[in-house]
């Protein structure tokens, strides 16, 4: 069995190794970042027979139960062994920013202050946006929620680029490739993947551009659902709420016990227009253990087939290297700073932490998969991005691409949270539905309700309000703002970028009212809980007791200042040849250079649905197909 390759810190390699030095390690492909985009892609390339280097800035926590057991996700999100703290802005208005109830300050003694009334001398940091610097990326600290993109989210790429391989029905095969489904009877439907095997056959067959000739088997990602038998207990307050939610959204209230087991990944006609309950699907195995890119990377490394995958941990990519001998720059490798916690988003970082620099060669391509914040940062540090921004930091411009770091998109998130007189009981209620004022026939809210609290992120989140807490968390699907940005703060690759989401900058009133309509519908359903629970003492967005003690305008203002997010995408977006803000073409290639692609959530033109983790792994599978097909034709 192949030994698991960890990053060996090359103590003798002080300074930078010349890219043309024969001693420099050389690989067919270099993949930067091991999250939902890069981790599966590197594994697929290695399984196709290509020597592949996967570079991860963090270490490997895959054997740590904090990460490997999915129910520990809140602990994982706070764990400094993987935590990267990005302190972001939601707007250009400092006064509005300080109204965020969990705004974070650094006190003079070094500790955090979180709240609205900071002590004298406290330094404002911003709104916490935690990312996971570890093997497997943010799929290692998330809640594992799996849902699909809306069809329009795939079709927008077709409309922008003319590439029909992105049509929504064709994208289904990538779910089948990555998925090891555990909740549908094996083989009962062609719309799911089951056997958990994934391999590429002879590259001699790879001339089929659709990939069907050389992709066989299904994928690495176990997906399961939780027990929903609680929904059969008709006298439980949670079931009474469930029945009222069904009535208000046009579902059969007498059949809720079956409706809550509906397959959220099912292939239904006009699925994006259906208001319906679903079973909560998560990337986990039958024992509740996290399934992720980490498990796939490990399986690839340990496979007796000895696939040519090498993993370098504790390795921060500082820039992509280029050959500029011809008219078009060609990516030839990467420069890496080695060492633990060298990136300053890591709370363990010491300001003067610095590691040795080394370089690695790419014989074919470099693929950046650093995520929505770090992929544009890496491109800019490499000379690819808005020329004026690069010149500001004395970075030599390799290619002026004004869209790099722009178009930052995210789902707005908020919650209806209250305390009852007694526990509501039950498990998760998962529902996708359309609010009455939605501008199209498409559903626009993903909600999950249950006895929990989640109000966004801050050091030490979440607040535990006790056994009587009850919440419906809401994700706004299809936001229309996309006005945010990720920009450099310096030319030092250790410095996190400046991140501003500019929430509600465009069409904000429409999005806010959809949120309020959702809260009003859910609040109305809650009144069915019964006398043992009522009245709810609501914490937000309408504090107090009763079902309507504040106006829509008051709720809109509260949501505007307190909305949060953790599904950032689109800062290296795919777009058409006529779009000056497009960073990638439909085959993930960075425009204006050769040998360089970006494959991660930053590649999407818009957020894909309500939770992007599964669509990003599907996107990764498509990228593997594209890259391997191109390599086989050379």
Query: Of 142, 30, 57, 152, which is closest to residue 598 (Cα–Cα)?
Result: 30
Q: Does 331 show up as a binding residue in the annotation?
A: no
Residue ranges of the domains in the chain? 26-65+142-221+288-400+569-633, 227-279+411-562
Query: How much of the chain, in percent, has pLDDT values that exceed 70?
Result: 92
Query: Measured between alpha carbons, how far is 449 from 447 in angstroms, rounded to an integer?
Result: 7
Residue pLDDT, tens place only, 370-424: 999 999 999 999 999 999 999 999 999 999 999 999 999 999 999 999 999 999 9
What distance lies between CA 291 and its chain's CA centroid? 15
CATH class belonging to 227-279+411-562: alpha beta
Once rounded to an integer, what is the mean pLDDT over residues 284-312? 96
**What are 624-633's pLDDT values in tens digits?**
999 999 998 6
What pLDDT was estimated at residue 23? 79
| CA–CA dist 572, 401 (Å, integer) | 10
Query: Residues 128-151: pLDDT tens digits?
Result: 999 999 999 999 999 999 999 999
Residue 268 has a CB neighbour count (10 Å cut-off) of 12
Q: What is the pLDDT of residue 547?
A: 60
- The per-residue pLDDT for range 459-494, each reduced to its tens digit, is 999 999 999 999 999 999 998 877 899 999 999 999
Write the DSSP symbol of residue 42. Answer: H
How do 221-225 and 179-181 pair as beta strands? Answer: parallel
- The residues near 79 (Cβ < 8 Å, ≥ 6 apart) are 61, 66, 67, 141
Query: Residue 609 pLDDT > 90, yes or no?
Result: yes
Is 520 marked as a binding-site residue? no
What angle do the packed helices 508-526 and 237-248 form, to 10 degrees? 130
Confidence band, pLDDT 50/70/90 cuts, at residue 196: low
The count of C-alpha atoms lying within 13 angstroms of the C-alpha of 297, restricted to the half-sphere facing its C-beta, is 36
Q: Compute CA distances 15 → 30, 78, 354, 381, whole Å.
A: 21, 34, 11, 18
* pLDDT(113) > 50: yes
- Predicted TM-score (pTM) of the model is 0.94
Predicted confidence (pLDDT) at residue 18 exceeds the cutoff of 80: no
Residue pair 342/316 in contact by the 8 Å Cβ criterion: yes
Q: Residue 68 pLDDT more than 90?
A: yes
pLDDT at 213 over 60: no
**295 phi/psi in degrees, rounded to 5:** -65, -35
Q: Indicate if the pLDDT at residue 211 is higher than 80.
A: no
Contacts of 451 (CB under 8 A, 6+ apart): 238, 423, 424, 425, 426, 467, 469, 470, 471
Q: How many CB atoms lie within 10 A of CB 216?
A: 12
Decide if pLDDT at 207 tops 50: no
pLDDT at 16 over 60: no
Q: Do domains 26-65+142-221+288-400+569-633 and 227-279+411-562 have the same CATH topology?
A: no
Q: Is the per-residue pLDDT at 209 higher than 90?
A: no
- Does 142 belong to an annotated binding site? yes
pLDDT for res 632: 82
Residue 531 pLDDT grade (very low, low, confident, very high; cuts 50, 70, 90): very high
- Predicted confidence at residue 10, as pLDDT, reads 29
CA distance 20 to 223: 45
Q: Tens of pLDDT along 542-567?
A: 999 766 678 999 999 999 999 999 99
Residue 303 has pLDDT above 60, yes or no: yes
Mean per-residue pLDDT for 290-308? 96
Query: Would you state the pLDDT for residue 579?
Result: 97
Cβ pair 381, 491 in contact under 8 A: yes
Residue 238 has pLDDT above 80, yes or no: yes
pLDDT for 208 beyond 60: no
pLDDT at position 19 over 90: no
CB 435 within 8 A of CB 476: no
**What is the model's pLDDT at position 186?**
86
User: How many whole angstroms separate alpha carbon 291 and alpha carbon 293?
Assistant: 7
The pLDDT tens digits of the residues spanning 419-464 come to 999 999 999 999 999 999 899 999 999 999 999 999 999 999 999 9
> CA 94, CA 561: separation in Å to the nearest integer?
12
CB of 441 closer than 8 Å to CB of 533: no
Cβ-Cβ contacts under 8 Å for 37 (sequence gap 6 or more):
369, 371, 599, 600, 601, 603, 616, 617, 619, 620, 623
Q: Is the previous residue joined to 259 through a cis bond, with omega within 30 degrees of 0?
A: no
Give the architecture (CATH level 2) of 26-65+142-221+288-400+569-633: 3-Layer(bba) Sandwich (3.50)
C-alpha Rg value of the chain to the nearest Å = 24
Which stretch of 100-104, 360-364, 550-554 has the lowest confidence by average pLDDT?
Answer: 550-554
* Residue 115: both structure tokens together: 């709240």
User: Taking all residues of the chain, what is their mean pLDDT, rounded to a whole number?
Assistant: 92
The separation between CA 340 and the C-alpha centre of its own chain, rounded to angstroms, equals 24
The count of C-alpha atoms lying within 13 angstroms of the C-alpha of 462, restricted to the half-sphere facing its C-beta, is: 15
pLDDT in tens, 338-353: 999 999 999 999 989 8
Q: What is the per-residue pLDDT across 138-188, written as a single tens digit (0 to 9) for each?
A: 999 999 999 999 999 999 999 999 999 999 999 999 999 999 999 999 888
Q: What pLDDT was estimated at residue 480?
A: 81
Q: Where are the beta strands (DSSP E) in 420-458?
A: 429-433, 445-450
145 among annotated binding-site residues: yes
Which pLDDT score, from 0 to 100, does residue 545 have? 78
* Average pLDDT for 45-73: 97
| Confidence category of residue 506, pLDDT binned at 50, 70, 90 | confident
pLDDT at 507: 82
Task: Return the pLDDT at 107.
Answer: 97
The model's pLDDT over 81-97, given as tens digits with 9 standing for 90+, comes to 999 999 999 999 999 99
Contacts made by residues 62-70, CB under 8 angstroms, sequence distance 24+: 62/135, 62/136, 62/140, 62/294, 62/295, 62/298, 67/134, 67/136, 67/140, 67/141, 67/290, 67/294, 68/289, 68/290, 69/288, 69/289, 69/290, 70/143, 70/144, 70/282, 70/284, 70/288, 70/289, 70/290
The answer to whether the beta carbons of residues 456 and 468 sit under 8 Å apart is no
């Amino acid at each position: 069995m192949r030994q698991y390759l960890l990053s060996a810190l090359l103590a003798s390699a002080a300074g930078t190794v010349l890219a043309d030095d024969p001693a420099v390690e050389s690989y067919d492909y270099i993949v930067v970042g091991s999250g939902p985009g890069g981790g599966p892609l590197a594994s697929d390339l290695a399984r196709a027979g290509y020597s592949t280097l996967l570079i991860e800035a963090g270490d490997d926590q895959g054997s740590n139960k904090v990460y490997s057991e999915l129910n520990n996700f809140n602990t994982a999100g706070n764990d400094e062994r993987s935590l990267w703290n990005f302190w972001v802005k939601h707007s250009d208005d400092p006064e509005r920013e300080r109204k965020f109830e969990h705004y974070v300050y650094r006190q003079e003694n070094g500790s955090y202050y979180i709240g609205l009334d900071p002590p004298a001398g406290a330094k404002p940091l911003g709104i916490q946006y935690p990312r996971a610097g570890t093997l497997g990326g943010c799929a290692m600290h998330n809640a594992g929620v799996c849902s699909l993109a809306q069809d329009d989210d795939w079709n927008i790429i077709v409309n922008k680029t003319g590439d029909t391989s992105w049509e929504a029905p064709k994208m289904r095969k990538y779910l089948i490739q990555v998925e090891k489904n555990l909740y549908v009877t094996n083989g009962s439907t062609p719309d799911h993947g089951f056997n958990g095997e994934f391999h590429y056959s002879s590259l001699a067959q790879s001339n089929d551009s659709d990939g069907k000739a050389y992709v066989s088997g299904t994928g690495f990602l176990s997906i399961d659902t939780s027990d929903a038998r609680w929904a059969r207990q008709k006298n439980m307050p949670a079931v009474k709420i469930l029945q009222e939610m069904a009535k208000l959204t046009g579902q059969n209230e007498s059949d809720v016990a079956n409706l809550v087991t509906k397959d959220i990944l099912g292939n239904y006609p006009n699925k994006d227009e259906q208001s319906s309950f679903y079973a909560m699907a998560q990337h986990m195995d039958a024992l509740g253990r996290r399934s992720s890119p980490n498990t796939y990377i490990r399986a690839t490394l340990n496979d007796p087939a000895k696939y040519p995958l090498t993993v370098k941990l504790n390795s921060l990519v500082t820039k992509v290297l280029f050959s500029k001998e011809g008219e078009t720059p060609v990516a030839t490798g990467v420069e890496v700073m080695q060492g633990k916690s060298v990136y300053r988003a890591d709370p363990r970082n010491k300001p003067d932490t610095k590691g040795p620099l080394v370089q690695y060669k790419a014989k074919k391509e470099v693929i950046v998969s650093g995520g929505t914040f770090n992929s544009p940062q890496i491109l800019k540090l490499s000379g690819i991005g808005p020329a004026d921004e690069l010149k500001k930091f004395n970075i030599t411009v390799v290619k002026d691409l004004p869209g790099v770091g722009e178009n930052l998109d995210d789902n707005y998130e908020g919650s209806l949270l209250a305390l009852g007189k007694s526990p509501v009981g039950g498990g998760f209620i998962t529902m996708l539905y359309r609010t009455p004022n939605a501008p199209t026939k498409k559903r626009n809210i993903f909600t999950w309700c249950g006895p929990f609290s989640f109000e966004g992120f801050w050091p030490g989140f979440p607040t535990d309000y006790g056994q009587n807490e009850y919440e419906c968390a809401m994700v706004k699907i299809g936001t229309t703002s996309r006005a945010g940005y990720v920009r450099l703060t310096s030319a030092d690759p250790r410095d996190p970028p400046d991140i501003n989401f500019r929430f509600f900058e465009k069409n904000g009133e429409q999005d806010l009212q959809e949120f309020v309509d959702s809260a009003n519908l859910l609040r109305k359903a809650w009144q069915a809980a019964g006398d043992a629970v009522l009245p709810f003492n609501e914490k937000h967005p309408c504090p107090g007791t009763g079902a309507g003690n504040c106006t829509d305008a008051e709720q809109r203002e509260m949501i505007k200042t307190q909305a949060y997010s953790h599904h950032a995408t689109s800062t290296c977006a795919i777009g058409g040849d006529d779009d000056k803000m497009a960073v990638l073409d439909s085959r993930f290639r960075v425009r204006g250079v050769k040998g360089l692609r970006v494959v991660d959530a930053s590649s999407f033109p818009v957020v894909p649905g309500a939770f992007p983790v599964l669509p990003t792994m599907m996107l990764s599978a498509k990228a593997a197909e594209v890259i391997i097909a191109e390599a086989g034709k050379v």
